[in-house]
Amino acid sequence: MYNFNLLAGYTPEFLKKSKEDPFVLARKKYPRPSEIELMTSLNDSVSFLIVRHPFERLLSAYRDKIQNAAPTNTVLQNLSKVIIHNFRRNKHSSLPQWPTFPEFVDYIINKIHNYRELNMHWTPITKFCTPCQVRFDIIAKFETLEEDQRYIIDKANIGHIVSPQWKNSGKGNKSTVDLLEDFYKELSENQVKEMYELFKYDFELFDYSVGEFYRNTPEKPSISSTSA
């Protein structure tokens, strides 16, 4: 988003001082296009999609939008209250005032079983960005983003304007990758399996493995531990 804002005409000095969300700034310069405009632009653009391990992406969304949601974000605060009300079994327990990760996963499972639309931050990429319908030139990965950024910038011939950036420091002292094992071992085998089924095509299409997330469960479910 920082680089898109540079391409939109914002100066580095302005972006450094601005308190506004980078996405909001970008939207002011890049109005949401129509589907026809998007498809037309693919003819003379370098199109790319950035993907991430589905379970890492899910935990990152939980930490950012639920566990560490800003007190001023009424929508997310109300969502947290709904999750606690519906999925916290002991309302008088000493659990935190925000939903735990298992409660959050139960909320998602309930939405799936009732055929309800998911928030874009935890909707599978294969549903949200339709990579089977759009022929992206480049599939970049979060795990190799610095290298992939260089490739995208080179292909788009915009190295004189932008350079690879890594400005998402995340929230909390530890990164999401460092906390993966701690959070996922809180889930039951069935919860992990349900999340795998939700993100199954993300795992397969983007070549991610799921087996490592079952090492703390008594028995592994009968699904492939590697992508197809």
Tens digit of pLDDT at every position of the chain (228 positions): 999 999 999 999 999 999 998 999 999 999 988 989 988 998 899 999 999 999 999 999 999 999 998 777 788 889 999 999 999 988 777 788 899 999 999 999 999 999 999 999 999 999 988 898 888 999 999 999 999 999 999 999 999 999 998 765 555 567 888 899 999 999 999 999 999 999 999 999 999 998 777 655 444 443 444 433
- Whole-angstrom CA distances from 131 to 70, 126, 202 are 32, 6, 10
Q: Is residue 139 part of a domain?
A: yes
Taking the whole predicted model, whether its pTM rises above 0.95 is answered as no
| Sign of the dihedral defined by the CA atoms of residues 115, 119, 125, 129, in that order | positive
Range of the domain at 43: 33-208
Q: Is residue 117 part of a domain?
A: yes
Amino acid 7: pLDDT = 96
Amino acid 214: pLDDT = 66
Q: Is residue 219 part of a domain?
A: no
Number of domains in the chain: 1
Cα–Cα distance measured from residue 54 to residue 146, given in angstroms and rounded to the nearest whole number? 19
Q: Is residue 59 part of a domain?
A: yes
Of 47, 24, 19, residue with least CA distance to 5:
24
Q: Is residue 2 part of a domain?
A: no
Q: Is residue 27 part of a domain?
A: no
On the 0-12 / 13-18 / 19+ scale of CB atoms within 10 A, 154 is exposed
- Give me the helices (H) in the chain, please: 2-7, 12-17, 22-29, 35-41, 54-62, 74-87, 101-113, 125-128, 145-156, 176-184, 189-198, 200-205
Residue 46 contacts residue 138 (beta carbons within 8 Å): yes
Amino acid 219: pLDDT = 44
Q: Is residue 138 part of a domain?
A: yes
DSSP one-letter code for 160: T
Q: Is residue 16 part of a domain?
A: no
19 Cβ partners below 8 Å, 6+ apart? none
